[in-house]
Structure 1
Amino acid sequence: MTKAGNDFENFKTWDKEHFFHPWEGLEAQGAEEAGRTFSEYAEGIYVYDEHGNKMIDGPGGMWCMQLGYGNTEIADAMAAQARKMAYCSPFSEATSVSARFARAIAERAPGDLNRVYFTTGGSTAVDTAIRFVHFRNNLLGKPSKKRIISRAHAYHGGTYLTASLSGKPGERQWLDTDQAIPHFLPDVNPFRRPAGMSIEAFLDEKAADLENAILELGADNVAAFIAEPVLGSGGVIVPPAGYHSRCLHICRKYDVLYISDEVVTGFGRLGHWFASEELFGITPDIITCAKGLTSGYAPMGAAIFSDRLFEDIGGDISKGVYFTSGYTYSGHPVCAAAGLKNIEIFERDGILEHVRRVAPHFQKRLHQLQELPLIADVRGMGLVGCIECTQIRGGQASTQNGAAIGAMIDARCQELGLMVRPYGSMAIFSPPLVITKAQIDDMFGMLTEGIQHATRDLLEQGFELEQARA
């Protein structure tokens, strides 16, 4: 286990001075107190910081550490492949390991989704899916059919195109995005529905939002609807039951493709290889995935396409055209080796079945948090959950806001031995899928204490908790 040594302060300095992290806060640049927790060692569901402190990894890395840390089988498979064949150009060559991995994914994908395009992660998987949809419509003589319908609070990636399709308002304030391609539907979070509206009426309204958008934009201009089965980083938003099947029916009615973004929900997070068909009753035209694809051991994503999408653009119809989009590391053999071993372990050790066994307990403990006065809403499915804190008013510090509440909970939880992912007034968690019921109890016990500690601090500072809930 690595602990802080005499030179560790140098590492912290180098990190602050040279590593430009994602979501880097500019205000803290150069500040003495600025800095991140260093994760120096990990095993199973636990991460150890630079001081040797042991913490449950509540976010599961970034939704991706399905099999947990320290899996020597995956590490050995990657090392063996690197020694055998570390790289080959996907543009002009193939490897047996990437072919086997593509076949393994296709066998587990729903319907006729058999064409696997490997990418470097979730963002590039979604980017590829959108580019293919546009490419296909160009070949079909439909150059105006380019609009992509997305949703408020959706997250689809960090490339220019995928960020443009992401509906998280805080991420769109200072970065430019494309305005011509995306169209956003209103929030699908049942917690936000108007007072007195039933879930059934809310479902009707959300389905109508999609159909009305297609009619407003013109079906000849709308190429696809993209939707996470459960909106992940936007706050683990679970749409009302029946939402996705209603949306798929509308898409079929107007010749609009359905892209299911399963970067978070795929590969076991909800207890199945893919959630689209098993849990939501749909067979989309395209599925995008990443994260759990290799259990976070190697950077890889995939866009999985229906055979149907190639029937009217292939062969003689193609006019000799190439899909001129690609990545140097598509189907990287070392990443593919990690993915193949990941699938082998999933099936040998019954990981999907384990998730389905422990998920009810996870959700029970999650929903018990609703009883705490600071909590406005809890929501989740499978082994992913979110708590949303109530609004606060009054008090001494007018700058106090929801983001600070999440940070307060996170800080106390880390002291107790739990990492959570604060996002505004929310805290999100998606632990490794190998977590046990006892470890779930440990996690929620620490989370409960972290919430109670934050509540006491807020009340001592003179804040009052809003009791009104949607």
Structure 2
Amino acid sequence: MDTQPNSPAARDRKYHLHSYTDARRHQEVGPLIIEKGQGIYVEDDSGKRYIEAMAGLWSVGVGFSEPRLIEAATRQMSKLPYYHNFGHKGHSPLVDLAEKLVTMAPVPMSKAFFTNSGSEANDTAMKMIWYRSNALAQPQRKKLISRLRGYHGVTIASASLTGLPNNHLSFDLPIANVLHTSSPHYWREAQPGESEQDFSSRLADDLEKLILAEGPETIAAFFGEPVMGAGGVVVPPAGYWQKIQAVLAKYDILLVADEVICGFGRTGNMFGSETYAIKPDIMVMSKQISSSYLPISALLINDKVFEPLADESNRIGTFGHGFTGGGHPVAAAVALENIKIIEERGLVANAREVGAHMMKGLRELGAHELVGEVRGVGLIGAIELVADKPGKSPLGKAGALGGIVNKHLQQNGVITRNMGDALAFCPPLIITKAEVDTLLAAVKQSLDATLKEVKD
């Protein structure tokens, strides 16, 4: 621990309340202060370099310190540093970005709406859905379904959609009208002898039973990530999305695809909806839309959503929702340039090719005594750590093994993130096979060090 009273670490402990951190523990151990970033690497204030194997927070697609994004921000900042889109006003970067997103969507979309984060975007989707139900004279159709272990944000409403206990405990969440159905984690949740297709059928049946119990006329929408991110990189089992969509169509329930992590190449296609043949009514996107160089997020809505919303705003006289920084011109300019880079440099194909190399290497680690499961798609993957392979059981308290391996990885020059005992890997889309090999070697070294530690 840094004991220098005026060091960044010491001042951080004194003044800074961190996200997703044990605040009392942080006062004891302090932070890792990151000062620089270049490509797939970041550097701390002591000069130590790390592979950023989580791309920040699943988000720095084109890598750190990309000159074109810095130049795009500088150009726009010098021309129009801020404007808004309230009251029939707009600006060119946002017009261009809206057109780009609507035209590149994998299914027909009508309009884009801009917010500042994935949480705000999902929160906005919830409000739009309720607004639409009222416009259609269906005031009873307000319930929303998401999934256990799903992640949709941390605002009061979007955190209610999130299906993780620590996002609810002591926050008095979830709010009313938010329901949760089964998690699609085959390895953990399947019954003995159950095939992936049978497991998917059972989960679709669970969903339909929930809808019928609540009343189909009360269910407005279903929210789901194509691949669950913060829930542990849960890849859907065979047939899952096909069967879930059939249930939703049967009861005329809107589908919201949360593409905040999967969008812009992560799964080996531009959108996770393409990877799994999902046909959403609303798409939510953030993170890699600007490689998180600046905060920006967007919702795409189809005509089924837009037309009633437009009618209702005409009846009332306004669509009374928006954010001061929503669709910020500098963020929009950076997002446009970021998408150009992803397209011009073939980073979606790179995620597919290098991701296959990463997944092959991770699966080879599946033989390790501490690895229970390896899962992933494209350039996002995870290894599930266990103390007992046959029993799939943790080492004492769930998350203990994940924390130990994560500690060794950081010592070995890799920053990643453990969600309990699931250790995630989501590096920048620009990573090469050689850099993946360096990452995998550090993972192997850290697993071995952990095994020695827990056995000693």
Q: TM-score, normalised by structure 1?
A: 0.92
1:31-430 residue pairs with structure 2 within 5 A?
31=28, 34-92=29-87, 93-192=89-188, 193-276=190-273, 278-315=274-311, 318-391=314-387, 400-430=396-426
Give the aligned residue type for 1:267. Answer: F
Q: What CA distance in whole angstroms lies between the structure 1 residues aligned with 2:427 and 2:405?
A: 17
Q: What CA distance in whole angstroms lies between the structure 1 residues aligned with 2:174 and 2:41?
A: 40
Deviation (angstroms), 1:410: 1.2
Which range is displaced more, 223-232 or 237-246? 237-246
Q: What CA distance in whole angstroms lies between the structure 2 residues aligned with 1:349 and 1:8?
A: 46
Could you tell me whether the CA contact under 8 Å between 1:90 and 1:329 is conserved in 2?
Answer: no
Aligned to 1:22: 19
Give the aligned residue type for 2:123. Answer: D
Q: Which runs of 5+ in 2 are unaligned?
A: none
Q: Which runs of 5+ in 1 are unaligned?
A: 461-470
Residue 313 to residue 74, structure 1, CA distance change in 2 (3 Å): closer
Residue 403 to residue 302, structure 1, CA distance change in 2 (3 Å): same
Q: What CA distance in whole angstroms lies between the structure 1 residues aligned with 2:80 and 2:3?
A: 39
Could you tell me whether the CA contact under 8 Å between 2:122 and 2:152 is conserved in 1?
Answer: yes
Deviation (angstroms), 1:139: 1.2
Residue 415 to residue 334, structure 1, CA distance change in 2 (3 Å): same
Deviation (angstroms), 1:198: 1.7
Could you tell me whether the CA contact under 8 Å between 1:266 and 1:273 is conserved in 2?
Answer: yes
SS at 2:110 equivalent: strand
Deviation (angstroms), 1:404: 2.3
Q: Deviations over 1:129-185 (max 9, x none)?
A: 111000010111111111111111001001000101111123322221134211111
Q: What CA distance in whole angstroms lies between the structure 2 residues aligned with 1:392 and 1:230?
A: 26
Percent identity for Structure 1 against Structure 2: 33
Q: Deviations over 1:178-213 (max 9, x none)?
A: 342111112210012122222221111011111111
Deviation (angstroms), 1:74: 0.3
Deviation (angstroms), 1:401: 2.6
Q: What CA distance in whole angstroms lies between the structure 1 residues aligned with 2:220 and 2:388?
A: 42
Residue 20 to residue 254, structure 1, CA distance change in 2 (3 Å): same
Deviation (angstroms), 1:6: 11
Aligned to 1:431: 427
Aligned to 2:7: 10
Deviation (angstroms), 1:347: 1.7
Q: What CA distance in whole angstroms lies between the structure 2 residues aligned with 1:43 and 1:209?
A: 46
Residue 178 to residue 36, structure 1, CA distance change in 2 (3 Å): same
Deviation (angstroms), 1:249: 1.8
Which range is displaced more, 312-321 or 81-90? 312-321
SS at 1:376 equivalent: strand
Could you tell me whether the CA contact under 8 Å between 2:53 and 2:415 is conserved in 1?
Answer: yes
Which range is displaced more, 89-98 or 148-157? 89-98
Q: What CA distance in whole angstroms lies between the structure 2 residues aligned with 1:189 and 1:360?
A: 21
Could you tell me whether the CA contact under 8 Å between 1:135 and 1:323 is conserved in 2?
Answer: no
Which range is displaced more, 430-439 or 177-186? 177-186
Which range is displaced more, 420-429 or 170-179? 170-179
Q: What CA distance in whole angstroms lies between the structure 2 residues aligned with 1:210 and 1:313?
A: 27
Give the aligned residue type for 1:287. Answer: M
Deviation (angstroms), 1:320: 4.0
Q: What CA distance in whole angstroms lies between the structure 1 residues aligned with 2:282 and 2:136?
A: 18
Residue 116 to residue 317, structure 1, CA distance change in 2 (3 Å): closer
Q: What CA distance in whole angstroms lies between the structure 2 residues aligned with 1:42 and 1:316?
A: 47
Could you tell me whether the CA contact under 8 Å between 1:229 and 1:260 is conserved in 2?
Answer: yes
Q: TM-score, normalised by structure 2?
A: 0.95
Residue 318 to residue 364, structure 1, CA distance change in 2 (3 Å): same
